[in-house]
Structure 1
Amino acid sequence: MQQGIGFGHVENDREAVSRRSSRVKLTNSSINSICGTIEGSQYVRSILIFTKENLSEDFTRSLLAKYTRLKVLDFGYARLTEVPENLGSLIHLKYLSFRGTSITRLPKSIGKLQNLETLDVRTGLKVEVPKEITKLRKLRYLLGNPISIAVKDSLGSITSLEKMHVLTDPDGVVIRHLAKLTKLRDLRVSNVKGDYANTLCSSINEMPLLERLHITLNYGPQEIDLHIRSSLSKLRMLHLRGNLKEFPNWILPLENLLKLSLGQSMLTNIPLISLGNMPNLLILSFGPTSFEGETLHFQNGGFQKLKELNLVHLHQLSSIFIERGALQSLEKLQIMNIPQLKAVPSGIQHLKKLQVLDILYMPTEFLQRIDPNGGEDYFMIKHVPHLHVARTNSDFL
């Protein structure tokens, strides 16, 4: 009986390829032998690289020449610096990842990968991507920061894109072209300058299919307005990081929003009552310096579906009040590095569904009040099944 195609990986030698494996994992022990065999290579559809050895350009060129029927090629975090021109021979490729590598350019032949759907160049370096990438009419996911004037000027022509993670350029060229990417469902934009905030908002207004939006503003004292007119009716996850002039009120009508995360927004006023009326909000995170006020007050009936609440690095916050009937579905609460908060949130004992309470890097007085051995507030949290307390050497951050 003929042996069928398997799902295996190379550990020590050529055996997995000769077994007609459809998936090959290259490890330290197999990296030198894999290019020495040809038997079974026509059956391989996926190669994943897991090695700390340096991958030479000759090795990579041989690998690409041999496994021409690949659909998945993942160099993630491999020691790779050069990508050979024969990358374009992998005409069946759908997924290509260079995440965590040290490459700085891609060859022009990438334009031949007409079946490519995902390109991941999240390397932490500037990667020169040739204008030929605009020929990839099936490209749906572009992850990373492709740096090329030609690509920036024609980015809007890749209209098939559904997911894009990009670092904006100083001239705002990328932001101006985003408006043409009307099929985007997942957009992550970093290093947005205040001068281009209006342009970004105008571009987002042209993206009715957005489900995930992550905006990181350029770090600095400048307050930035984010005015989005579109209803964004499909938006499920929103993360805003940066100094905001005011809380964006366009968030409140987002009926399908499941997760909202704010960081470094420096807000002195957050409309908790209106936020609490959002019908489907499950996760709410007030990250580092997102709120500069002294009090958070969760009123009766608010946040009925919320499952997780994270309060992190809020240096001015000194009191939290939870009325009976608020946060009734809450299962996880994280309180981390809030130096002015000396007591547990008033009313926390009413959160009967709370399963996990993380208390991290809080001041000594707070920790003393929740001490199981005589702490005056311990009775308020003793019903929580999973209590996690972590402290630094000084009990204070």
Structure 2
Amino acid sequence: MCGGLPLAIVTMAGHVACNPHKSLKGWSDVCSYLFPESGQDHRKELTQEEVGRIISYCYNDMPAEIKTCSLYLSIFLKGHRISRKRLTRRWIAEGFVCEKHGLSVEEVAETYFNHLIRRKIIRPVEHSSNGKVKKCIVHDMVLEHIVAKASEENFITVVGGNWLMQPPSSKVRRLSLQGSDSKRAKDTEKMNLSHVRSVTMFGSLNSQLPAHLFKYGIVQVLDLEGCTGFKKHHIVEICRMVLLKYLSLRRTDTKFLPNKIRKLKNLETLDIRETDIVGLPNPIWQLERLVNILGGNKTTRKALKLPEELKKRKKMKALRILSGIEISGGSVDLHHLTELRKLAIYKLKTMGGAASFKDLISSIEYLGGYSLHTLVIDDESSEFIKSLDDLSYPPKFLIALELYGKMVKLPNWMKQLNVLNKLTLSVTALRTDNLKDLSKLEALFSLTFSFRAKEQDRQTLAMVAENKLYSNGKVTVPGGGFKSLKLRCLSGFLLPLLSFSREAMPELERLELRYNMLEGLSGVENLAKLKEVHFTSDAKADEDTMTKDIVEEMGIALKINGKKSKIIVHQ
């Protein structure tokens, strides 16, 4: 009945998947409703009206709280790749999600997001290395239906972009500014914004920011991610929005946060990633409701300095995510942050050796017994990482762990991380004995070895070369173990010869290799469930004869053993 149209098929399939107990009579009624002229041959191409009827029916079938969350999708531009975390954090700030059945608000928001995927309202377009959806998009026709519903219910007012919406007849509740058209900007100036609770902007602040917006103090969500034209007076005016819960300045050209940020007593999420902000102002400690502090730049490892007051005062106990920070020598006591779920340290500066970080080590050990489940540490000197072996108790609830620095020996407690799902280590830790220990981590889904450009010094390359000496000139992946591993990534200037034993990584589906020099691969045919091998060489095409030889040899080996794995070479 869907006429072979993919959108109609997947939308209806999502509806069917979420109603497994519907009776035969129930399904018959659905068919009669969607296609009243049941005697007709429905193998013909569907009309737009019929497709719209299917989308509308499937939308109306969703639980009320999921409908509300789906209406929120109309905030984003047509074809926009929507970040899962950005979306779920905004749901929480808007009050669409609350704790239930013993689940935290973040976990409930996650179930709502997954329900929308199952319903085919949103489609995944990018996954994280742990298998979770990182970004999604909404099909144009589905989004058109959602935008129409949002406008009809005065849920969201969209200005600009691809949609021609009638100006709201009543007060604006949520505003999405999607274009810099001067005529539409003037229309916005005429709107009643006295009750606006949420503002999202795309493009330039200069051409579309309503002059009278900041005088209303009831805005709770302000999302300016990626906007240009950010001026000093904008951040001063933002600090007057005293009810603000969610503030995103990510990828804007803002350079500082003023001390007046202390006025935002209700702020829960502060996202200043990929900006020129290098430090938090001292009064930040007064924002005791802050749940998420997101700073720095994950790619460049540019970090956010913590103010001295924050280190001294035992405040901000609601913090769950503290990401992208810099920690310099001296006392950094985080024991009081017992709600902390994620700690990401992008820069460590030792002063007086690892001993100067005894409070930090003690804090990690202490928080590991509470709710800490993601730990990221980038230690250029490697002194701090070496001292992690001294932990008396392992952070046993860790789900994700990333350790960067020159490291050969792994902390002894790593073998006890029974729920660890994602692990990223420096390439200097790529050794046969380490792989044997890691193979015992039964929950491990993703394993990555990498190092960045700044680590490509002679000492690092020498350490990588020495690792081969522990296994007769190559690094060997042992047979057995790695029972849950689906993804493995290797990224570095030099990757040593890698050999896969029989029955190695029995569940591995994807192998990714990024390098300038790759010494070789053997035994890939032993990977029973391998689907894809990705080669990405940073060497010049005319210099990369080694990749061609390795790919050719691998193809022959896979063919001989009857494997149908894809070999993909990225230029």
- Is the TM-score greater than 0.5? yes
Please say if residues 374 and 398 of structure 2, whose CA atoms lie closer than 8 Å, have aligned partners that are also in contact. yes
For the structure 1 residues 210 and 112, does the alpha-carbon distance in structure 2 shift closer, same or farther, using more than 3 Å as the test?
A: same
- Distance in 1 separating the partners of 2:270 and 2:237: 17
Match of 1:345 in 2: 522
For 2:361, the equivalent position in structure 1 comes to 201
> How far 1:74 moved relative to its partner?
1.1
What residue is the counterpart of 1:357 in the other structure? 533
* Deviation sequence 1:233-266 (CA, Å, 0-9, x none): 2210001111236212221100000010012546
CA distance in 1, matches of 2:409, 2:245: 42
Matches of residues 312-351 of structure 1 in structure 2 within 5 Å? 312-313=491-492, 315=494, 317-318=496-497, 320-337=498-515, 339-342=517-520, 344-346=521-523, 348-351=524-527
Q: Does 1:282 align with 2:445?
A: yes
CA contact (8 A) 1:21 1:43 kept: yes
Equivalent residue for 1:141?
Answer: 292
CA distance in 2, matches of 1:382, 1:62: 68
For residues 401 and 366 of structure 2, the distance between their equivalents in structure 1, rounded to whole angstroms, comes to 17
1:178 counterpart SS class: coil
In terms of fraction of residues, the more helix-rich structure is: 2
Q: TM-score, normalised by structure 1?
A: 0.82
Cα distance, 1:112 vs. partner?
A: 2.8
Which residue of structure 2 lines up, in the alignment, with residue 395 of structure 1? none
Number of the residue aligned with 1:36: 189
What residue is the counterpart of 1:394 in the other structure? Answer: none
Q: Is the 8 A contact 1:192 1:216 kept in 2?
A: yes
Q: Alpha-carbon deviation of 1:267?
A: 6.1
Residue aligning to 2:372: 210
The alignment partner of 1:339 has SS state of: strand
Describe the SS at the equivalent of 2:156: coil
Alignment pair present for 1:160 and 2:318: yes
Shift of 1:45: 2.5
Deviations 1:178-213 (A, max 9, x none): 233222101100111343454432221121211111
CA contact (8 A) 1:241 1:262 kept: yes
Residue matched to 1:186: 342
Contact 2:257/2:277, CA 8 A, preserved across alignment:
no
Q: Is the contact made by 1:130 and 1:150 (CA closer than 8 Å) also made in structure 2?
A: no
- The runs of 4+ residues in structure 1 deviating greater than 6 Å are 220-223
> Where do residues 1-397 of structure 1 align in structure 2 (5 Å cutoff)?
4-11=153-160, 15-16=166-167, 20=172, 22-29=174-181, 32-33=185-186, 36-39=189-192, 41-52=193-204, 54=206, 62-66=212-216, 68-79=217-228, 80-82=230-232, 83-127=234-278, 129-144=280-295, 147=305, 149-154=307-312, 156-172=314-330, 176-194=332-350, 195=353, 196-207=356-367, 208-218=370-380, 224-227=386-389, 228-244=391-407, 246-263=409-426, 265=428, 270-288=433-451, 291-292=464-465, 293-294=467-468, 295-313=474-492, 315=494, 317-318=496-497, 320-337=498-515, 339-342=517-520, 344-346=521-523, 348-361=524-537, 363-371=544-552, 376-377=556-557, 379=559, 383-391=563-571
Larger displacement relative to structure 2 (123-132 or 294-303): 123-132
Contact 2:558–2:565 (8 Å) recurs in 1 = no
Unaligned runs of 5+ in 2: 1-150, 296-302, 452-459, 469-473
- C-alpha displacement of 1:64: 1.8
Code of the residue aligned with 1:326 in structure 2: it is A
Distance, in Å, in 2 between the alignment partners of 1:240 and 1:163 is 18
SS in 2 for 1:177: coil
Partner deviation per Cα, 1:75-95 (whole Å, 9 max, x = no partner): 222221324444344233211
Q: Is the 8 A contact 1:369 1:377 kept in 2?
A: no
Cα separation, 2, equivalents of 1:55 and 1:127: 28
The percent of aligned pairs where both chains have the same amino acid is 24
User: Displacement of 1:138 after TM fit?
Assistant: 1.5
Q: 2: CA distance between counterparts of 1:184 and 1:98?
A: 23
The more displaced of 195-204 and 245-254 is: 195-204
SS at match of 2:337: coil
Q: Following the alignment from structure 1 to structure 2, what is the Cα–Cα distance between the partners of residues 357 and 34?
A: 53
Q: Which amino acid aligns with 2:551?
A: I
Partners of 1:229 and 1:377 in 2: how far apart? Answer: 47
Distance 1:5 1:270, change over 3 A: farther
**Whole-angstrom CA distance in 1 between matches of 2:527 and 2:430:** 27
**Secondary structure at 2:416 match in 1:** coil
Query: What's the CA shift for 1:17?
Result: 5.3
Structure 1: gaps of 5 or more residues:
392-397
Contact 1:16 1:24 in 2 (8 A): no
Name the CA shift for 1:61/1:43 in 2 (closer, same or farther; >3 Å): closer
Distance 1:65 1:17 in 2: 20
Amino acid of the residue matched to residue 286 of structure 1?
F
Aligned equivalents of 2:207 and 2:335: distance in 1? 39
Q: SS in structure 2 opposite 1:187?
A: strand
- Aligned partner of 1:203: which letter? S
Give me the whole-angstrom Cα distance separating, in 2, the residues matched to 1:254 and 1:221. Answer: 22
Q: Would the aligned equivalents of 1:86 and 1:109 in 2 still touch at CA under 8 Å?
A: no
| Counterpart residue identity of residue 440, structure 2 | N
Report the 3-state secondary structure (helix = DSSP H, G, I; strand = E; otherwise coil) of the residue aligned with 1:271: helix
Q: Which amino acid aligns with 2:231?
A: T
Deviates further, 290-299 or 376-385:
376-385
Query: Deviation digits for residues 38-74 of structure 1, max 9, x if unmatched?
Result: 42x2443221221145479xx58743214x3222101
Using structure 2 for the length normalisation, give the TM-score. Answer: 0.59
Aligned length: 380
Q: Tell me how far 1:327 sits from its aligned partner.
A: 0.8
